[in-house]
């Protein structure tokens, strides 16, 4: 996945990160999980693998965008994720708990 594909897929990634080399590496290293990652509904009662990937891989950038995390901390977290994935090609699988729902389950009255 290219950085351009990543930011198109996840427009919530702040613009000031779009030219970061670490984000480019992140897109390549986590291409598989990012290709199925999706933001969970606010009324989800159970999350699927895509939701978990979103929460572990994309949410930190949303937290940064809201000003609740410093840039250096976010870049450090991204670097740590990349390092773990490169050291263990199965690392991304550990981001999804066992027994995860096959698809996102939404609560009553949720569209």
Domain ranges of the chain: 3-38+46-96
- Distant-in-sequence, close-in-space partners of 20: CB < 8 Å, separation ≥ 6: 75
Burial class (CB in 10 A: 0-12, 13-18, 19+), 97: exposed
CA distance 70 to 24: 19
> At which residue do the structure tokens 């690392």 appear?
91
> At which residue do the structure tokens 């291409």 appear?
31
pTM beyond 0.85: the answer is yes
CA distance 78 to 60: 9
**pLDDT tens, 2-34?**
999 999 999 999 999 999 999 999 999 999 999
């Amino acid at each position: 996945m290219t950085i351009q594909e990543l930011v198109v897929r996840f427009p919530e990634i702040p613009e000031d990160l779009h030219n970061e080399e670490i984000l480019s590496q992140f897109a390549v290293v986590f291409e598989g999980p990012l290709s199925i990652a999706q933001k969970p509904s606010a009324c989800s009662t159970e999350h699927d693998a895509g939701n978990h990937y979103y929460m572990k891989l994309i949410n930190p950038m949303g937290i940064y965008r809201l000003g609740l995390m410093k840039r250096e901390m976010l870049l450090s977290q991204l670097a740590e994720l990349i390092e773990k994935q490169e050291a263990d090609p199965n690392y991304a699988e550990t981001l999804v708990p066992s027994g995860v729902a096959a698809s996102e389950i939404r609560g009553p009255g949720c569209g």
